[in-house]
Structure 1
Amino acid sequence: MPIYVYWGEDDFAIEKAVSLLRDRVLDPQWTSFNYTSFLPDQPDATIQGLNQVMTPSFGAGGRLVWLINTNLCQHCPENVLAELMRTLPVIPQNSFLLLTSRNKPDERLKSTKILKQFATEFREFSLIPPWKTELLVQAVHQAAQTAGLRLTAKTMEVLAASVGNDTRLLYNEIEKLRLYAAGSNQPLDVDTVTQLVRNTTQNSLQLAAAIRTGDTATALATLNDLHNASEPGLRIVATLIGQFRTWLLVKIMIESGERNQQAIAKAAEIGNPKRIYFLQQEVKFLSVQQLISTLPLLLELEVSLKRGSTDISTLQTKVIELCQVCQGRQQ
């Protein structure tokens, strides 16, 4: 059945997928007749969308009906579910139903189950966790290949560190670099990329590194740079939690006597075992107990931000506390 369900926090990736689907389905000369979108605040948006998708397309191309930011997979009234079950199996082959949402579908709901049953594509567009650097580098490599841009391995690492998991920024920077390198068969070097890419010298991983070494001054300065760059507090905390959790798991495996890097990588959910050596060096002077002690503080910070505490003051306080935990490092 021509039914597509896209969800996730990577808005830019979803936009690209929607654009590709729209270009594939619609004939440009008949778009105004065959393309309809419904916002979630429109009355009976789902029912209207289902009725519309049953209408045969006019002229050339197909029909596309888009339910934007729908909550159909989080909450589905009985009347809507009944209409869904009646309509999905009989949608005309040249009519396409698209549903997008930032929220993960609730697998327990009947609406989710029936959509998965009939969907041509049921796809998640999630942001890569900022601490999973190997996946960020892979994303840079894929984007560069798509754009026909040649980059060295080191350049891809620099670009990944600069843009993080911001997919929109990544593609914007890749396009800029592609235009700069037009006509050249040589891969761009690190100096060129550093000069051209938007200045994001401070990121949450650097904040985590400063906290790990107990460098309060650097940590607070990095936090201030992140705040000035409008980095959301909850995103900063998510990165810190992920990084300290990884460090803790690596340290526990080392303390248990494990020396196999692949085994440590599997336990710490790290895709590239070669990173284990560097992670081992990073946690060399921290104890398991110190790393464990950071997690309740990070959890308190996350809860405070979710309850509406002022981002910067709350973050500053907890960053100082975290640095103090890490300052009593093992000798």
Structure 2
Amino acid sequence: MPIYVYWGEDDFAIEKAVTTLRDRILDPLWTNFNYTLLSPDQPDAAIAALNQVMTPAFGAGGRLVWLMNTTLCQHCPENVLAELIRTLPVIPENSFLLLTSRNKPDERLKSTKLLKKLAHEFREFPLIPPWKTELLVQSVNQAAQTAGVKLTPQTAEFLAQAVGNDTRLLDNEIEKLRLYTSDTRKPLDVDTITQLVRNTTQNSLQLATAIRMGDTAKALTILADLMNAAEPGLRIIATLIGQFRTWLLVKMAIESGERNPQAIAQAVEISNPKRIYFLQQEVKSLSVQQLISCLPLLLELEVSLKQGSTEVSALQTKVIELCQVCQHGY
């Protein structure tokens, strides 16, 4: 069936997949006639999309109807469901229906079950959790290989730390490195990468360290630097959550009596067991309860920013609270 459903939080990856699909289906000379984009704020967007996709393509190429940010897999009115049941099985062979959404489909809905049954591709585009360093490094290596950029294991790890799970930033940085290395076949070294890649994630890790040490003044200074560098608040929080989660897991492993660095590294999902020694030193002065108490504060901060709170004020307040927890605990 010529039906595609893309969903997930990785907006950039979805954009790339949509572009690939669009380029494959549409003839450039007939795009204006055969390409329709419908946003959710348009009245009866779903019904309009179904009507459009039933229209045969004009000229060369196929027809593509994109229902952007749709909620059909979260909430589907009865009249729309009836149209889906009637229309989806009989879409013309050269017409394609694309549905995209950030939200996870509700598997209980009839509309979701129908789309899963009939879709040629029903695909999730998730963001890699920022603490899954091995997956981040794999993502960097895959992007570098696709672009023809040669990286060493050290430079791949540095780049993964620098961009985190921001696939748009990764794409930009890889393109920059590709242009830089266009006249050489040698792998990039860490010194070169450091000069070319803006590593605000590393600064966010410095912020995490200042918070862990309870140094409020230093933490607020680093936070101000990140804000001045236009670093998104949600990305700062993602790095902090990842770091505090790692510290908590390491501390819990120590408290349970585990001493094998390889076993701890596996539990914490860290590829390099040599890092465990340094992590153990970092959490010496903190209790498990202090680290546990930090995570709800970070999650509260994430929720408040997603709900539209003033970024600078919310970050400053929570950074102070986190420093106090690390100083004294609850």
TM-score for both structures, normalised by structure 2 = 0.88
Match of 1:130, SS state, is: coil
Match of 1:60, SS state, is: coil
Is this contact kept in 2: 1:202–1:226, CA < 8 A?
Answer: no
**Post-superposition shift, 1:267?**
4.8
Q: Which residue of 1 aligns with 2:248?
A: 248
Is this contact kept in 1: 2:201–2:239, CA < 8 A?
Answer: no
Between the aligned partners of 1:43 and 1:308, the Cα distance in structure 2 is 26
Q: Which residue of 2 aligns with 1:37?
A: 37
Q: Which residue of 2 aligns with 1:214?
A: 214
1:128-159 CA deviation, whole Å, 9 max, x = no partner? 23333322222211111010011112112222
| Paired residue type of 1:71 | T
Indicate the larger mover: 61-70 or 50-59. Answer: 50-59
| Paired residue type of 1:113 | K
Is this contact kept in 1: 2:161–2:202, CA < 8 A?
Answer: no
**What percentage of residue pairs aligned between the two structures are identical?**
80
Indicate the larger mover: 11-20 or 84-93. Answer: 84-93
Query: In the alignment, does 2:85 pair up with 1:85?
Result: yes
Between the aligned partners of 1:102 and 1:316, the Cα distance in structure 2 is 29
1:176–1:296 CA distance, 2 compared to 1 (3 A): closer
Indicate the larger mover: 129-138 or 304-313. Answer: 304-313
Is this contact kept in 1: 2:290–2:325, CA < 8 A?
Answer: yes
1:124-163 superposed matches below 5 A: 124-163=124-163
**Post-superposition shift, 1:264?**
4.2
Indicate the larger mover: 233-242 or 121-130. Answer: 233-242
1:113–1:259 CA distance, 2 compared to 1 (3 A): farther
**Post-superposition shift, 1:97?**
0.9
Indicate the larger mover: 188-197 or 299-308. Answer: 299-308
1:142-197 CA deviation, whole Å, 9 max, x = no partner? 11101001111211222222222222221112112111111211111222222222
Indicate the larger mover: 292-301 or 59-68. Answer: 292-301
1:323–1:310 CA distance, 2 compared to 1 (3 A): same
Between the aligned partners of 1:131 and 1:222, the Cα distance in structure 2 is 21
1:110-259 superposed matches below 5 A: 110-198=110-198, 200=200, 202-259=202-259
Aligned-residue Cα RMSD (Å) equals: 2.5
1:241-283 CA deviation, whole Å, 9 max, x = no partner? 3432332233222211234556545654x26373545533432
Is this contact kept in 1: 2:133–2:270, CA < 8 A?
Answer: no
Match of 1:9, SS state, is: coil
Indicate the larger mover: 55-64 or 5-14. Answer: 55-64
1:73–1:204 CA distance, 2 compared to 1 (3 A): farther
| Paired residue type of 1:182 | S
Match of 2:200, SS state, is: coil
Is this contact kept in 1: 2:248–2:288, CA < 8 A?
Answer: yes
**Post-superposition shift, 1:99?**
0.7
Indicate the larger mover: 186-195 or 54-63. Answer: 54-63
Match of 2:186, SS state, is: coil
Between the aligned partners of 2:229 and 2:129, the Cα distance in structure 1 is 19
1:16–1:150 CA distance, 2 compared to 1 (3 A): same
Between the aligned partners of 1:123 and 1:293, the Cα distance in structure 2 is 36
Indicate the larger mover: 291-300 or 15-24. Answer: 291-300
**Post-superposition shift, 1:67?**
0.7
TM-score for both structures, normalised by structure 1 = 0.88
Query: In the alignment, does 2:9 pair up with 1:3?
Result: no
1:37-116 superposed matches below 5 A: 37-116=37-116
Indicate the larger mover: 168-177 or 224-233. Answer: 224-233
Unaligned runs of 5+ in 2: none
